């Protein structure tokens, strides 16, 4: 087994050497993805099921592409059109899929800890593609990999995560990953969207966007997760944009040139304007490209094919 863990349920299951191994493997796969023939036979006899209980575009496509580039056999499963809507339990659903001899399960689920629960009850390897507001490990890995690609290393870099920290699985995974790699991390947003415990993770908290942007090397702009909000956390979207939206005017007024990231989907004109998202300081599309290489690396190393 190339990684120290059998499943990828969260960044907290990975040690520093695991993360570095994933990055080195992703470097090799990125070279493969830039060749005319973008396929390697590494997982030719492995069957992977993508089980998504929540909507997804980028993550699902990225995992599916990664699996196909590795020559794995892929089964796609969407909960909305399945027997889950008839009352079937999570364990039954997955066990039925595994009875068809599936080796690995990539799962996104609306409830935190769904992947951990599943790993205890089924034999297949589980890759967490996002569980509620808990973790999204491959997103954090591709974000850190993109920072490493831009600056040469992550250690010593100052990264601010702006927006809805309270409901964001991306924020938690990013904090854990960046801290392990030696970056300084700050979170920025309205008081109502910053969790009370957040300082215990060793991060700084700032409520003024301009101060946060002047402090950082990299700003990771998160969207407002309206689908997870059961109450109003701020008066209006317009007011949120006035206080925490990043536009070109703000970007150009900063003391230095910073790098802009976004995990997607982007709500243009809310947390970030189009001229910022499409600027030369933005590495948003690099993140998408790196997502395939990182997911190839994770699947390859989990399958025990690594050296």
Ligand-binding annotation for 150, yes or no, is no
189 annotated to bind ligand: no
136 annotated as ligand-binding: yes
CB 299 within 8 A of CB 305: no
Residue 68 known to bind ligand:
no
Q: Is 223 annotated as a binding residue?
A: yes
How would you class 163 by CB atoms within 10 Å of its CB: exposed for 0-12, middle for 13-18, buried for 19 or more? buried
Ligand-binding annotation for 237, yes or no, is: no
The two structure tokens encoding residue 224: 């407002």
199 is in an annotated binding site: no
- Angstrom distances, CA of residue 129 to CA of 5, 59, 125, 170, 296: 16, 7, 13, 11, 13
Residue 58 labeled ligand binder: yes
**Cα 65 from Cα 70, distance rounded (Å):** 9
Is the Cβ–Cβ distance between 139 and 170 less than 8 Å?
Answer: yes
Closest C-alpha among 179, 273, 144 to residue 221: 273
Binding positions for carbamoyl phosphate: 58-59, 108, 136, 139, 264-265
Binding positions: 58-59, 86, 108, 136, 139, 169, 223, 264-265
Binding positions for L-aspartate: 86, 169, 223
């Amino acid at each position: 087994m190339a990684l120290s863990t059998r499943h990828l349920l969260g960044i907290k299951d990975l040690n520093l050497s695991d993360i570095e191994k994933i990055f080195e493997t992703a470097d090799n796969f990125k070279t493969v993805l830039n060749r005319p023939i973008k396929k390697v036979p590494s997982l030719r006899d492995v069957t992977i099921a993508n089980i998504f209980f929540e909507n997804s575009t980028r993550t699902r496509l990225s995992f599916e592409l990664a699996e196909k580039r590795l020559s794995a056999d892929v089964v796609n499963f969407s909960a909305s059109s399945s027997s889950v809507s008839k009352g079937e339990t999570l364990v039954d659903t997955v066990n039925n899929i595994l009875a068809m001899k599936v080796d690995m399960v990539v799962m996104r689920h609306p409830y935190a800890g769904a992947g951990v629960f599943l790993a205890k009850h089924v034999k297949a390897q589980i890759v967490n593609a996002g569980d509620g507001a808990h973790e999204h490990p491959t997103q954090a890995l591709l974000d850190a990999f993109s920072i490493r690609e831009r600056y040469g290393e992550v250690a010593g870099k100052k990264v601010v995560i702006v927006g809805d920290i309270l409901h964001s699985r991306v924020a938690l995974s990013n904090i854990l990953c960046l801290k392990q790699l030696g970056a300084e991390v700050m979170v920025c947003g309205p008081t109502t969207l910053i969790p009370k415990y957040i300082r215990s993770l060793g991060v700084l908290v700032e409520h003024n966007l301009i101060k946060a942007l002047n402090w950082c090397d990299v700003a990771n702009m998160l969207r407002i997760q309206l689908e997870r909000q059961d109450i109003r956390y701020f008066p209006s979207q317009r007011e949120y944009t006035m206080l925490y939206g990043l536009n070109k005017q703000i970007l150009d007024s900063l003391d230095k040139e910073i790098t802009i990231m976004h995990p997607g989907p982007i709500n243009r004109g809310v947390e970030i304007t189009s001229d910022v998202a499409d600027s030369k300081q933005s590495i948003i599309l690099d993140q998408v490209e790196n997502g395939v290489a990182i997911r190839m690396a994770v699947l390859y190393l989990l399958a025990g094919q690594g050296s």
